[in-house]
């Protein structure tokens, strides 16, 4: 158990809909990261938040957005869903007091999103 | 982002050591070498990381070449639970991870 929790575990929705995925980081971790894992693209970094502020962006679509709240939990919002958005979405957290390369990330169990 | 090259797959017998190679010829001086693994139906799991010197922890050892252009993750005694995809990742100043395709390790009982 990494200490990172994600809800829901599974989500099935229709094209065009909007969903929210939730992540609670490990106690004490200030950084939260979101990743998408699909069969054809592998594991891809989407976005990072540090202590409530956006720090880095990866291959995140404009239809997707995220935020980190004062209690440090984070939500990833996916809108106008398409079939191709079906994937596993992982959240990770780290201590990350600076932009150091030496800190490891701890991943949650993921949310499996199926768009029909 | 600096690129790593790993074999697509490897096999090992249970209870034998496993050496998982990674080439990173374009590594820069500030890049850390990180290894993660992903067991079936789970999120990635941190294994080990290093900069220049060899590193040991309870899960594995990391051997880094003197020129840092390659590294090897060593599992001292493979168990069935070690069957996973192993990712070698170079991390620069930004803390996000860029995963490649990794090496799928099969452990044979």
Calpha distance A19→A37 (Å, rounded):
17
B56 to each of B60, B61, B71, how far by Cα in Å?
Answer: 6, 4, 13
Of the candidates A27, A25, A29, A33, the one whose C-alpha atom is nearest the C-alpha of residue A4 is A25
Examine the pLDDT at B1 and tell me if it is beyond 60. no
CB contact under 8 A, A42 and B99: yes
Residue A10 has pLDDT above 70, yes or no: yes
Q: Taking CB atoms and an 8 Å cutoff, what residues of chain B touch A31?
A: 95
With a cut of 70, say whether residue A99 has pLDDT above it: no
Residue of A99, A100, A107 lying closest to B45 (CB–CB):
A107
Count of residues making up chain B: 109
Would you place residue B100 in the very low, low, confident or very high pLDDT band (cuts 50, 70, 90)? confident
Q: B91 falls in which pLDDT band (50, 70, 90)?
A: confident
Summarised one tens digit per residue, pLDDT across range A46-93 is 999 999 999 889 889 999 999 999 999 999 999 999 999 999 999 999
Separation CA A48–CA A35 (nearest Å): 9
Contact, B65 vs B24, CB < 8 A?
no
- The DSSP code sequence of A64-114 is EEEEE-TTS-EEEEE-S--GGG-EEEEEEEE--SSS-S----EE---EEEE
Q: Tell which phi-psi region holds residue A110, choosing left (phi > 0), alpha (psi between -120 and 50) or beta.
A: left
Q: How far is CA A37 from the centre of its chain?
A: 11
Distance CA A105, CA A103 (A): 7
- Checking if the pLDDT of B92 tops 80, the result is no
Show residues of chain A in contact with B97, CB under 8 Å.
33, 35, 45, 92, 105
């Amino acid at each position: 158990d990494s200490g990172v929790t994600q809800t829901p575990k599974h989500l099935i929705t229709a094209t065009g809909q909007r969903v929210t995925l939730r992540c609670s980081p490990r106690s004490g971790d200030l950084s939260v990261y979101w990743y998408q894992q699909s069969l054809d693209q592998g594991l891809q970094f989407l976005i990072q938040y540090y202590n409530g502020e956006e720090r880095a962006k990866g291959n995140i679509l404009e239809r997707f957005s995220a935020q980190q709240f004062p209690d440090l939990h984070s939500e990833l919002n996916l809108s106008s869903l398409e079939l191709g958005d079906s994937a596993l979405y992982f959240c990770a957290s780290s201590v990350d007091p600076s932009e150091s390369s030496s800190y490891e990330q701890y991943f949650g169990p993921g949310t499996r999103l199926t768009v029909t | 982002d600096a690129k790593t090259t790993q074999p697509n797959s490897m096999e090992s017998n249970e209870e034998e050591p496993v050496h998982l190679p990674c080439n990173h010829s374009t590594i820069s001086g500030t890049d850390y070498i990180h290894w993660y693994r992903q067991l079936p139906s789970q999120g990635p799991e941190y294994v080990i990381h290093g900069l220049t010197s060899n590193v040991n922890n309870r899960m594995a050892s990391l051997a880094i070449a003197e020129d840092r252009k390659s590294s090897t993750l060593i599992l001292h005694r493979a168990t069935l639970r070690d069957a996973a995809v192993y990712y070698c990742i170079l991390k620069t100043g930004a803390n996000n991870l860029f995963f490649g395709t990794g090496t799928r390790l099969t452990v044979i009982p």
